[in-house]
Amino acid sequence: MSWFKRIKDGITTSTKEKKETPEGLWYKCPSCKKITPAEDHAKIAWVCPNCNYHERIGSHEYFHLLFDGDNFTELFSNITAGDPLKFVDTKKYADRLVESQKKSELKDAIRCAHGQVGGYDLTVACMDFGFIGGSMGSVVGEKISRAIDYAIEQKTPFMIISKSGGARMMEAAFSLMQMAKTSAKLTLLADAGLPYISYLTDPTTGGVTASYAMLGDLNVSEPEALIGFAGPRVVKETIKKDLPKGFQTAEFVLEHGFLDKIIDRKELKPKMTQLLGFFKH
Partner 1 sequence: MNFLDFEKPIQELIEELEKVKKSGEKTKVDVSKTVSEIETKIAEARKDIYGKLTAWQRVQVSRHPDRPYSLAYIDYITNGSFMELHGDRTVKDDKAIVGGFGEVNGKTMMFIGHQKGINTKMRQLRNFGMANPEGYRKALRLMKLAEKFNKPIVTLIDTPGAFPGIEAEERGQGEAIARNLFEMAKLKVPVICIIIGEGASGGALGIGIGDKVLMLEYTWYSVISPESCSSILWRSWEHKEKAAEALKLTPNDMFGNKLIDGIVPEPLGGAHVNQQEIFETVKQTILKHIGELSKLPTAELIKQRIDKFCAMGVVNEG
Looking at the Cβ atoms of 48 and 200, the one nearer to Zn ion is 48
Q: Which does 100 bind (CB under 5 to 8 A by kind): Zn ion, partner 1, none?
A: none
Which segment (50-58, 83-91, 147-155, 158-166) binds Zn ion by CB under 5 A?
Answer: 50-58
Q: Does 51 bind Zn ion (CB under 5 A)?
A: yes
Q: Which does 257 bind (CB under 5 to 8 A by kind): Zn ion, partner 1, none?
A: partner 1
CA distances from 233 to 11, 131, 132 (A): 19, 22, 19
Least separation in angstroms between residue 111's CB and partner 1 is: 14
CA–CA dist 48, 232 (Å, integer): 25
Q: Are 190 and 233 in contact (CB under 8 A)?
A: no
Q: Does 50 bind Zn ion (CB under 5 A)?
A: yes
Q: Does 48 bind Zn ion (CB under 5 A)?
A: yes
Backbone φ and ψ of 225, nearest 5°: -65, 145
What is the crossing angle of helices 268-280 and 59-66, to 10°?
60
Least separation in angstroms between residue 206's CB and partner 1 is: 8
Single-letter residue type at 1: M
Which segment (22-30, 59-67, 98-106, 200-208) binds Zn ion by CB under 5 A?
Answer: 22-30
Q: Are 205 and 226 in contact (CB under 8 A)?
A: yes
Binding site for partner 1 (CB under 8 A): 1, 4, 78-82, 84-85, 87-90, 137-139, 141-142, 145, 167, 169-181, 183-188, 206-207, 209-215, 227-230, 234-235, 238-239, 243-244, 247-248, 252, 256-258
- Closest by CA to 196, choosing from 101, 279, 111, is 279
CA–CA dist 159, 151 (Å, integer): 10
- Given the rule CB under 5 A, which residues bind Zn ion? 29, 31-32, 48, 50-51, 53
